[in-house]
Amino acid sequence: MHILIIGAAGMVGRKLTERLAKDGALAGKKITKATLHDVIEPTAPAGAPFAVTTLASDFSAPGEAEKLVAGKPDFIFHLAAIVSGEAEQDFDKGYRINLTGSWNLFEAIRQLNMQSGGAYKPRVVFTSSIAVFGAPFPDKIYDEFATTPLTSYGTQKAVGELLLADYTRKGFFDGVGIRLPTICVRPGKPNKAASGFFSNIIREPLAGQEAVLPVSEDVRHWHASPRSAVGFLIHAAEIDGDKVGPRRNLSMPGLSCTVGEQIEALRRVAGDAVVARIKREPDPAIIKIVSGWARDLDPSRALALGFKAETSFDEIIRVHIEDELGGKIA
Amino acid sequence: MHILIIGAAGMVGRKLTERLAKDGALAGKKITKATLHDVIEPTAPAGAPFAVTTLASDFSAPGEAEKLVAGKPDFIFHLAAIVSGEAEQDFDKGYRINLTGSWNLFEAIRQLNMQSGGAYKPRVVFTSSIAVFGAPFPDKIYDEFATTPLTSYGTQKAVGELLLADYTRKGFFDGVGIRLPTICVRPGKPNKAASGFFSNIIREPLAGQEAVLPVSEDVRHWHASPRSAVGFLIHAAEIDGDKVGPRRNLSMPGLSCTVGEQIEALRRVAGDAVVARIKREPDPAIIKIVSGWARDLDPSRALALGFKAETSFDEIIRVHIEDELGGKIA
């Protein structure tokens, strides 16, 4: 059984690859081959019990999607994207990768499906985002709330969702789109993403470093751990499509909490000395951006379909300490 | 002041052209030039007080959209579309015209906008459809209800809406998308569209002909007259974009009524002898299709913004008799 991961070099892509290498199976079937693709060549996971091919290319370039799916992978994880900030700054690049790229991929699969008389019909898991929603929001964004994005990234993801649902309805493939919460705690270095502080204020103090908090403690946001994100992807690959029904795009579960609640969880898990490493430096630009973001969701459909996330921020911090710090706090 | 109408040969396009020829002005400015485009050459309206150019081409072909907007029209009405049934049967053609065609048009305008340093920023009125919604529905489809279409046509319109909103947000043009109700009473011959009977059962009896009713009288649907559709387009061209805000796509007002209520209105307006020309011939295929359609909407935003439609089916019938039958019933 053959798996293709597009966007395999990103943080979630790497963690998904490692999980599949550890499990050796997906949806009850043994994995015999994995193709890992990204714009930079992904690293093959150590000790995978299956053959691994790594490839680097621009998947939105003409003919690239066709090459990627030519081997008829049984499962396709489509994680490739230009992130929100870059898609906003570089309009052409964002649309080319996030919209044309995704559409080319869906089209390449459709062509194989038609050539095979419908026999080739892979499960396609598409990572969407809560950025498909745009303020003003209800207190909790419910499953039937309209997608009125306020960024080009959110627009491109919302279009991808519509295409995924229509290609699935027509039987060209079997798609499931998952709207990821903000992933927290992101491992690695602090980055300049406007959302970076949600992770920075946990990761850096736990590693003995100072971190800057640019917003007030009453800012509320929607989080899930990298481990949960991988769990969503696996569950989206394994779930019965008939149970999902025609509405193929699902808001994933997550945890709604304020920055103040994040800090109190850090205090409970790691103590006052760690919390003292958070420096408050309000940044009007970030305050403005974050004020337009989703604060809370009601992901009833995903919960009913068996998707699971953390239920406390303490748990999100513990996942980070276990998965990234070998269980140790600096 | 220059107006471009794409899809000008269709029923609504023709009526819009006639209305503009009669008014001679739009948004308080005198019209000096109109370019009428469609896949077949549109007819220039009689006695228009402005220059009229008629053009025929496939607007989705490479380079065509650029040619259409090269004259920098101040108002662009984008009415071109492959209709629902054909888009469902011919997947490639539907996506090519309804999605690629619309995107090409938006891109061509963006290029002119950028070349002019932002000075060229036309109002773009895009005709969308209640087909962006897919069952199951709430009792009334409210403005924040998600677009989860169950047809390729609805998908293509929903994508067009997202692009329109994002290109507008980025300042490339000033777009307003309007979701038209089913247009009733459609003039002309009975056609094979699944929705045709809503008009056929009024138009044909009024013209002395028999008409077939393929569904039961309790089927409820959402209607507006051709005259209202033209009114929506004019108002969408004239409305203050700031009042619309970032959510640029609006469900238009309409009238929700059952087929039974349509028939009773026909009886009030035209009498028993006219109603007796309706023959009941249930068609399971049409019954199934129609069961997935929108029955009622709550178009609060559009109403607050001043869009107006008929408030009784009697009025819709009278509009047809006035506009199409010269006030006379057969």
Determine whether the interchain pair B162/A170 forms a contact, defined as Cβ–Cβ distance below 8 Å. no
Residues in chain A: 330
Chain A's closest residue to B143, CA to CA, is A146
Does residue A304 fall inside a structural domain? no
Determine whether the interchain pair B148/A91 forms a contact, defined as Cβ–Cβ distance below 8 Å. no
- Kindly state the tokens that stand for A147: 């997608």
Tell me the pLDDT band of B294, cut-offs 50, 70 and 90.
very high
Q: Same domain for A218 and A234?
A: no
Q: Same domain for B72 and B177?
A: yes
pLDDT at A185: 97
Chain B's closest residue to A160, CA to CA, is B159
Q: How far is residue A283 from each of residues A158, A291, A314, B137, B160, measured CA to CA in Å?
A: 29, 12, 26, 43, 36
> What mean pLDDT do residues B238-251 have?
98
Mean pLDDT of chain A: 96
Can you list the residues of chain A whose pLDDT is less than 70? 192
Determine whether the interchain pair A163/B159 forms a contact, defined as Cβ–Cβ distance below 8 Å. yes
pLDDT at A329: 86
Distance from CA of B152 to the nearest CA of A (A): 6
Residue from B90, B148, B152 to probe the interface with A (highest A Cβ count within 10 Å):
B148
Range of the domain at B46: 2-181+225-251
The structural domain count of chain B equals 2
Distance from CA of B130 to the nearest CA of A (A): 14
What CATH number is given to the structural domain containing B152? Answer: 3.40.50.720
* Option in B144, B145, B169 nearest A150 (CB): B169
> What mean pLDDT do residues B9-20 have?
97
Residue from A166, A168, A173 to probe the interface with B (highest B Cβ count within 10 Å):
A166
Residue from B144, B161, B173, B251 to probe the interface with A (highest A Cβ count within 10 Å):
B144
Q: What is the pLDDT of residues B162-185, one digit of tens each?
A: 999 999 999 999 999 999 999 999
Q: Same domain for A105 and A238?
A: yes
Determine whether the interchain pair A145/B144 forms a contact, defined as Cβ–Cβ distance below 8 Å. yes
Tell me the pLDDT band of B40, cut-offs 50, 70 and 90.
very high
A284: Cβ–Cβ under 8 A, 6 or more apart, which residues? none
Determine whether the interchain pair B146/A144 forms a contact, defined as Cβ–Cβ distance below 8 Å. yes
Whether residue A153 lies in the annotated active site: yes
Q: Same domain for A92 and A113?
A: yes
- Kindly state the tokens that stand for B306: 């001043």
- Which value does ipTM take for this structure? 0.96
Q: What is the pLDDT of residues B117-149, one digit of tens each?
A: 999 999 999 999 999 999 999 999 999 999 999
CA pair distance B168, A87, nearest whole angstrom? 16
Evaluate if residue B292 carries a pLDDT over 90: no
Q: Same domain for A238 and A90?
A: yes
Q: Same domain for A61 and A207?
A: no
- Kindly state the tokens that stand for B32: 């000096």
Tell me the pLDDT band of B87, cut-offs 50, 70 and 90.
very high
What is the residue-wise DSSP string for A128-177? Answer: EEGGG--SS--SSB-TTB----SSHHHHHHHHHHHHHHHHHHTTS-EEEE
Determine whether the interchain pair B147/A146 forms a contact, defined as Cβ–Cβ distance below 8 Å. yes
* Option in A138, A150, A247 nearest B148 (CB): A247
Q: Same domain for A161 and A211?
A: no
Specify whether the CB–CB gap between A186 and A11 falls below 8 A: yes
Q: Same domain for A260 and A319?
A: yes
Q: Same domain for A54 and A146?
A: yes
Evaluate if residue B312 carries a pLDDT over 80: yes
pLDDT at A182: 95
Does residue A39 fall inside a structural domain? yes
Q: Same domain for A9 and A136?
A: yes
CA pair distance B250, A41, nearest whole angstrom? 44
Q: Same domain for B104 and B39?
A: yes
